[in-house]
Amino acid sequence: GDSVTQMEGPVTLSEEAFLTINCTYTATGYPSLFWYVQYPGEGLQLLLKATKADDKGSNKGFEATYRKETTSFHLEKGSVQVSDSAVYFCALSVSTGNQFYFGTGTSLTVIP
Amino acid sequence: DSGVTQTPKHLITATGQRVTLRCSPRSGDLSVYWYQQSLDQGLQFLIQYYNGEERAKGNILERFSAQQFPDLHSELNLSSLELGDSALYFCASSVSLDRGLGNTIYFGEGSWLTVV
């Protein structure tokens, strides 16, 4: 069935370090791919998305490229800030029924 | 603010009791989703409704039920509560089922349920 596997956490980085959070997926058909972020005490917010192969989603300095050949959608940021500390969820949706499947989440802590 | 409203924000109740969590979707959204987030199991999909009808069911226990009303708000009913039901329950909404690729879902801030 459709599913998402993302990198286990927690991840701790120093400010200005490079971030990669890996995400791979399994899906029938052509899913859309998403990254959501959950800040402490809040709900999940959409960070970025991509709807077809080779699309790059970007927002707030974060980027992810939809790679069909490797079934991946890795999240990257060149220089993290303390304010980026949060839990990041990779997700996919299948167009039929718009069902969403989330990964287990990766906790990121950025230290000054 | 996502536009999805959940009440109550916090709830403490005893084992064996029943609670109802309420969700108002974003204006214009027809589809509502319920998720459970716990420390040991991550974000679990429970159930999805579209325009009043059940659309998809995930890992929802038989003790739990949900419905979506004509005004599109939704309620999640949790009964015979156990300690393990303590979790953060999220509601999310989206515009439609097949609006095209990349149809985003928007989350509320969640309802914290503590069973003691």
pLDDT at B96: 65
In tens, the pLDDT along B63-92 reads 999 999 999 999 999 999 999 999 999 999
The model's confidence at residue B7, banded by pLDDT at 50, 70 and 90, is very high
The model's confidence at residue A7, banded by pLDDT at 50, 70 and 90, is confident
Query: Is residue B25 reached through a cis peptide bond, with omega within 30 degrees of 0 on the bond before it?
Result: no
What average pLDDT does the segment B10-21 reach? 97
In tens, the pLDDT along A99-110 reads 788 998 999 999
For A76, counting Cβ atoms within 10 Å of its Cβ (0-12 exposed, 13-18 middle, 19+ buried), the class is middle
Cβ contacts of A18 within 8 Å, gap of 6 or more: A76, A77, A78, A79, A80
pLDDT at A99: 77
Using CA coordinates, name the residue in chain B closest to A99. Answer: B56
CA separation for the pair A110, A52 (Å, rounded): 31
CA separation for the pair B32, B42 (Å, rounded): 20
Say if the Cβ atoms of B109 and A42 lie within 8 Å. yes
Using CA coordinates, name the residue in chain A closest to B104. Answer: A46
Least Cα distance to A75 among A98, A91, A94 occurs for A91
